[in-house]
Structure 1
Amino acid sequence: MGETHSSHEARARGSRLIALAGPFQSGKTTLLEAILTHAGAIPRQGAVAAGASVGDASPEARAHRMSVEANVATVDFMGDSYTFVDLPGSVEFAHEARNILPAVDAAIVVCEADERKVPALQLVLRELEEFGVPHLLFLNKIDATTIDVRDALTILQPASRTPLLLRQIPIWNNGVAVGFIDLALERAYVYREHAPSEVVDIPKGESTTEKEARYSMLERLADYDDALMEELISDIEPPRDQVFDDLTKELRAGLVAPLFIGSAERGAGVTRLLKALRHEAPGVAEARARLGVAESGPALARVLRTVHTSHGGKLSIARVLRGGFDDGETVLSVNGEDRISGLSRLLGANMSKLSRVHEGDVVAFGRLDHAQTGDTLVADARADRSALATHAPAPDPVHAVALVVKDRKDEMRLAAAVAKLVEEDPSLVFVHDQEMSQIKLYGQGEMHLRVALERLQSRFSVAVEVTKPTVAYRETIRHKVTVRGRHKKQSGGHGQFGDVVLEVGPRGRGEGFAFSERVHGGAVPKQYFSSVEAGCQDALIHGPLGFPVVDVEAVLTDGSYHTVDSSDMAFRTAARIGMSEALGKADPILLEPVLAVDIYVPNEAMSRATGIASGRRGQIMGFGPREGWDGWDKLEALIPEAEMDNLIVELRSATAGAGFFRARFDHLAEVVGKQARDIVAAHAGHHAARAAVG
């Protein structure tokens, strides 16, 4: 009877989408491999290190032995359909999760009882908590640890704002975890290599420990169930169905995060994990409600990822949140209509064609040219298109490189190729900096950009060299000077004549350029004032030090004109000549951009972060606890832009990959001495070299 009810509930839930999340190298991809093996989707569990896994199948993931994009695999287990999405653990690729997590039903957070990884785990759990995603933890590598599981709970709890609930305890034999006791079922299991665990009697030596751990679990559940609390106070053993009902209800409500144990590499504990998902994880209806999608209406899906393949063209990997779609059907997204050209079920890089997809499914829609990651797809041409863009904002970039194509014929192809990479990964930012004459690519870290450039070459055959981005230096002046600018030229017919007297001086930092006139007696006719101003601005493009000039004022005080030969161009030229001379005489100084940088690190890394900022000519402005984040600090500093290169690399190295920063322009500051001379000389050399090539 219970199984029949469960089967009906499973059909109502539809195919479920489960995220595999966790810190870098916690074992998510290995767990996916174990799940696929236990579900019968693959014949044997492949090793990630050997490049034999279903996940991490891209050349870049294989080469770097790390997840660099989300991997999707759909399997059937005990009559139910599940799609697992393996999310990258490195913080450099974590942004991809922000468009995926809102549409998942639940998440398995793979973790270790390692205090060094707690800050990274906290980042993962905070994302899930913000999106309201029910989640459970899988304490991995239990066969390689000797730490007591309750001590592990104590280590992990600070990373979670949701109370952790111990669901299983290990069975030890000579210091090695050989199995576990399920506290809800009150059953013991012995691990079997890459096979379901064997049910055994609870060892006599573990009976007391089991009863204590189970009572603690029930106490936690009773925090949200008054009837269960009354039973515990009265020493009444609650019915098993009631316990499972509470576990299910409190997981789905996000009141608790159950903790399971096992070994992904050995496939240990995976079957019980899958069965817990089967009975306790919510389905598409709850995800739909969380996203504010109505239960009834035309078929609707959300795009989780965009992939450009070499042979199949563009694929939009999406979850069907309502109704179903047929191959060839027309769908609407925020940017227009497309006809579905192929529907495919995914198992890593392998695809199997479908003619129709149903509610809850995660599939690849073929050739939806207008659809972008995060968009909503709807089978209704009358839908409000403005409501169909739901993508998460991309994180601010923290690392940049300048690109130079190795073959000049690739310059036109570069922009088109990078546009496809940015469509796949919106956290990449591509900028053609006209002022600096540089093409720049911004991203989330050194590895993030390295992978993007590897894809640029392998997929689109565009090879580039990487250089350091040029800093946008400026210059200004210290003193006020008065100069005369005169332009006179006679070459037959009308000549050219313009004559101006300019008073040029500095302005306050950040006040920009200002022009005014104090001309008396019509020495310069009014119709030429605007030309004089334009000529002054022409001279600001390249100052005497070679950089754009800022924060100066020019006052036209006198001059002369010729009734025949004077013109707008003549006065513009005269003003440019005079302004250039004035800037050279007014004690020019070099300015560099300084950024206001907010650095976020775990408490124990604060002194290292301070040293990193100070070592980059940073001025420490303040520090203190990070609001709303236990165990984290915030450091505020002013750091010259020239010192920002590889800051994120150094910061993450000092914080086990968890630290990050946000930066914004603050002000321009004077550069003096040898440093200023070196910058000016290098700039002059660069322009001389470019002129020689040209």
Structure 2
Amino acid sequence: MSDTNGSAGGGRSGGAARCIALVGPYLSGKTTLLESILARTGAITRQGKVGDGNTVGDASPEARAHGMSVEVNVATTEFMGDSYTFVDCPGSIEFLHEARNVIPAVDMAVVVAELDEKKAPALQLILKELEDAGIPRLIFLNKVDRAEGNPRDALEWLQPASTRPLVMRQLPLWENDIVTGFIDLALERAFVYREHAESKVVEMSDDARAEEVDARFSMLEKLADYDDDLMEQLLSDVEPPRDRVFDDLTSELRQGLIVPVLMGSAERANGILRLMKALRHEAPSVVETAERLGLAAGSGAVAQILKTFHTTHGGKLSVARLLRGALADGDTVFGARGGEERIGGVFTLKGQDTTKAARAVAGDTVGLGRLEGIATGETVSTDKGVEQLVAVEPPQPVLGKAVEAKERKDEVKLTSAIHKIIDEDPSLSLRHNQDAGEMVLLGQGEMHLRVALERLTGKFAIDVQTHEPRIGYKETIRKPATQRGRHKKQSGGHGQFGDVVLEIRPLPRGAGFEFTDTITGGVVPKQYIPSVESGVRDYLGSGPLGFPVVDVAVNLSDGSYHTVDSSDMAFRTAGRIGMNEGMPQCSPVLLEPIMHVEVMVPSEATAKVNTIVSQRRGQILGFDARPGWPGWDVVQAQMPEAEMRDLIVELRSATAGVGSYVCRFDHLAELTGKLADQVIESHRQEAA
């Protein structure tokens, strides 16, 4: 008997198509696992390699250029008469939001991991996402053929990454310090791997049998924590029926009570059919997934949009998991945000290849064509008034680049293209900085932004140039001054005349701008006073140091006018002249924005992060354990915005790629001395 025959008992939950997410840390082998599954189930004739650039997944130019997943890849296959769609999710924290939109609507997740303790924090990130979403999951320990340690011993460092008990389902068989097969603890049989072929049943040695008995009892003990009858059998030394063991494994996995652990080698296709057999018997059905999402019974079709692609020739394609009912080409669907669209084609997916289908039914994961007004993550239905099943908020960006088209003719095209890549990936965002007159593309890290910019050039054929976003420096004053502003011009006919006296004084930090008047005797007619204020405001856009002015009060105390030559424009100009001549006397000072920062890192990296923050002129406010995250801390600090430009790069370097932060503007603080001089000089050179 080979590992194709798999488990007994724990019967399948219906024949509807399944949707399985492949998740795990960066470089753990998820794309290779997808390729191996497709080859072993006959969906492709030959298993490709990521390094050769010939896999079904990671087929985009950006993924191939960088040798990593940069977006979800979807492929459907069949196994033993059932349909399975696998969604391969990127492992880098910079692309984690791709998985967040997928996870809620899948039936189960396979967490691909390596025997590398340094990746435990990254594994914890993935498992926490699944736990929070209530997704049943198992771990597939990949690359065991190259493992230096014992997979069973790995549970000691793997377990802290999961709040649910890890249950080892298999034991490795060894030959010359190499894993050559496994013992299935539920079946109580030993198998030897055969490369790209079915595993072969072999007899267990006496030593292997003794280890199997011990490991199986440990597995049963964990199952018995949620089954009183099984616990009683174990205490009475009664061997539980095999079917009962499989039933418990299935039930407890679906409830998220345990996390089974299997092993294999995706590259050699070892353990793949054993994994598929586990999914066939133990993955929940779409009915259970719909119940988990709170989808009530009804007649209309309901689907969740997992991902959006803007294809070069076929237009917009929305990857959808159908949770109820059926959809066909031409059906009208309504979005939870109020949109109404007609489906322009139903497609099965295998990487970047699409095949037209007649219809999709509950359980299917398909591409829906031309849903222009429907966003990634949105719930759609053939019934009006559909409610959003799950709300996934994009993470706060941590890095930005100011972007502009190299050619003026591409400016409108650039804005449209950026909105399309944000539609594909909502963890990107666009900010228009009015003060600096620039457009800033924001994302989750250096590689995230690099890939987005490559798509603008490659997919949308727009040459762009980038620079660091300008910091929101301001300026204010330290002392008051009184200044007359006089504008007089005679050039034939009516002239221009405006005369004002302005009292300028500083306001407390954060007070903004205040304009008053104490005019008496009509020396400045009332109808011209708003024009004086407009002139003052005109000046505030750029003060003596060249930056927007804040926290200043101006009082119009005196002036004069001419019955013929005075006008709104003349008094507006006089107000601006008064500010221009008076502000340099008020001891102007530069202000820099200070951000409140919360840095989330594994506890062993907290000391490093404190040093990084301090070296960037940051002030540590304190740190504490991160709620709900064993082994993690949250560092609270205040830091100048200017010091945060590449903070995420250094932070990720110090935390094996898992550290992150959120921030918000806190206050403006005076910046003096050499740093202020450098900022002012740099600004003047840019303006020249």
Instruction: Give TM class, smaller chain.
Output: over 0.9
User: Does the CA-based 8 Å contact 1:251-1:257 persist in structure 2?
Assistant: yes
Amino acid at match of 1:113: L
Percentage of pairs with the same residue:
58
- Residues 445-594 of structure 1: pairs in structure 2 closer than 5 A: 445-594=445-594
1:444 aligns with 2:440: no
1:164 aligns to 2:173 (yes or no): no
Q: Is the 8 A contact 1:400 1:443 kept in 2?
A: yes
Shift of 1:432: 2.9
Q: CA deviation at 1:571?
A: 2.0
Deviation at 1:239, TM superposition (A): 0.5
- Which residue number corresponds to residue 26 of structure 2? 24
Aligned match of 1:372: 375
Q: Residue 460 of structure 1: SS of its match in structure 2?
A: coil
For the pair 1:362 / 2:365, whether they are aligned, the reply is: yes
Map of 1:251 onto structure 2 = 253
Structure 2: stretches of 5+ with no match in the other structure: none
**Cα distance 1:6–1:180, how it changes in 2: closer, same or farther (>3 A)?**
closer
Match of 2:349 in 1: 346
- Counterpart-to-counterpart distance in 2, 1:643 and 1:117: 29
Aligned to 2:667: 667
Say which SS state the counterpart of residue 41 (structure 1) adopts.
Answer: coil
Rounded to whole Å, the distance in 2 between the matches of 1:120 and 1:11 is 32
Whether the 8 Å CA contact 2:9–2:243 is kept in 1: the answer is no
Q: Which residue of 1 aligns with 2:69?
A: 67
Code of the aligned partner of 1:401 = K
* Alpha carbons 1:114, 1:155 under 8 Å: kept: no
Post-superposition Cα deviations, 1:203-257, rounded to whole Å, max 9, x if no partner, equal: 2211111111111111111111011011011111001111111111100000000
TM superposition score normalised by structure 1: 0.96
Residue in structure 2 matched with residue 401 of structure 1 by the alignment: 401
1:182 paired residue number: 184
Code of the aligned partner of 1:146 = E
* TM-fit CA distance, 1:331: 1.9
Q: Residue 353 of structure 1 aligns to which amino acid in structure 2?
A: K
1:41 shift after superposition: 1.0
- What is the CA-CA distance between 1:527 and the residue it aligns to? 3.0
**Is 1:228 the counterpart of 2:230 in the alignment?**
yes
Distance 1:11 1:151 in 2: 33
- Give the direction of change, closer, same or farther, for the CA distance of 1:445–1:64 in structure 2 (3 Å limit): same
CA positional deviation for 1:445: 0.7
**1:390 Cα deviation from its structure 2 partner:** 4.9
- Deviation of 1:464 (Å): 0.8
Q: CA deviation at 1:388?
A: 4.6
Q: Kindly indicate whether the alpha-carbon contact (under 8 Å) linking 2:398 and 2:444 is maintained by their aligned counterparts in 1.
A: yes
Q: Which residue of 2 aligns with 1:384?
A: 385
Q: CA–CA distance in 1 between the matches of 2:315 and 2:517?
A: 62
Give the corresponding residue for 1:691. Answer: none
Q: How far 1:391 sits from its partner (Å)?
A: 4.7
TM, length-normalised to structure 2: 0.96
Name the SS for the 1:580 alignment partner.
helix
Q: Deviations over 1:396-429 (max 9, x none)?
A: 1101111132222111211111111111111111
Question: Counterparts in 2 of 1:46-195, with a 5 A limit?
Answer: 46-195=48-197
Between stretches 493-502 and 667-676, larger displacement belongs to 493-502
Question: 2:308–2:318: 8 Å Cα contact kept in structure 1?
Answer: yes
**1:278 corresponds to which letter in structure 2?**
R
Which of 23, 33, 38 is residue 36 of structure 1 equivalent to?
38
Judge conservation of contact 1:410–1:462 (CA < 8 Å) in 2.
yes
- Mapped to 2, the partners of 1:372 and 1:607 lie a distance apart of 41
| Structure 1: 5+ residue stretches without partners | 689-694
Q: Does 1:610 align with 2:610?
A: yes
- Cα deviation digits, residues 496-522 of structure 1 (max 9, x gap): 322221111111111111112223333
Distance 1:287 1:275 in 2: 20
Per-residue CA deviations over 1:244-299 (Å, capped at 9, x if unaligned) read 11111100000000011111111111111110111111010111011111232211
CA contact (8 A) 1:113 1:155 kept: no
Contact 2:301 2:324 survives alignment (8 Å): yes
Say whether the 8 Å CA contact 2:329–2:358 is kept in structure 1.
yes
SS in 2 for 1:147: coil
2:143–2:266 Cα contact (<8 Å) kept: yes
Q: Give the whole-Å Cα distance in 2 for the aligned partners of 1:347 and 1:261.
A: 25
Q: Which moved more, 1:530-539 or 1:638-647?
A: 530-539
- Whether the 8 Å contact between 1:335 and 1:370 is mirrored in structure 2 is no
Structure 1 contact 13–285 (Cα < 8 Å) conserved? no
CA RMSD of aligned residues (A): 1.8
Contact 2:10 2:282 in 1 (8 A): no
Counterparts of 2:30 and 2:667 in 1: how far apart (Å)?
44
Point out the more displaced range, 639-648 or 328-337.
Answer: 328-337
Q: Is 1:297 the equivalent of 2:299?
A: yes
Give the aligned residue type for 1:439.
M
Secondary structure, counterpart of 1:12 in structure 2:
coil
Tell me which amino acid in the other structure corresponds to 1:620.
I
Shift of 1:525: 3.0
What count of residue pairs does the alignment treat as equivalent? 682
Q: Which runs of 4+ in 1 moved over 6 A?
A: 5-9
- Offset of 1:523 from its aligned partner? 2.7
Q: Which amino acid aligns with 1:36?
A: L
**How far apart are 1:26 and its partner, in Å?**
0.6
CA distance in structure 1 between the partners assigned to 2:389 and 2:233 by the alignment: 50
Q: Distance in 2 between matches of 1:285 and 1:346?
A: 22
Structure 2 residue aligned with 1:413:
413
Q: Distance in 2 between matches of 1:526 and 1:337?
A: 54
Matched, 1:654 2:657: no
Decide whether the 8 Å contact of 2:76 with 2:349 is kept in 1: yes
1:625 and 1:444 map into 2 onto residues whose CA distance is 24
- Structure 2 letter corresponding to 1:605: A
- Residue in structure 1 matched with residue 198 of structure 2 by the alignment: 196
Query: Which position in structure 2 is the counterpart of 1:326?
Result: 328
Amino acid at match of 1:168: Q
TM-aligned CA distance change 1:254 to 1:56, over 3 Å = same
Q: Counterpart of 2:50 in 1: which secondary structure?
A: coil
- Supply the distance in 2 between the matched residues of 1:389 and 1:576 (Cα, whole angstroms): 55
C-alpha contact 1:22 1:89 (8 A) present in aligned 2: yes
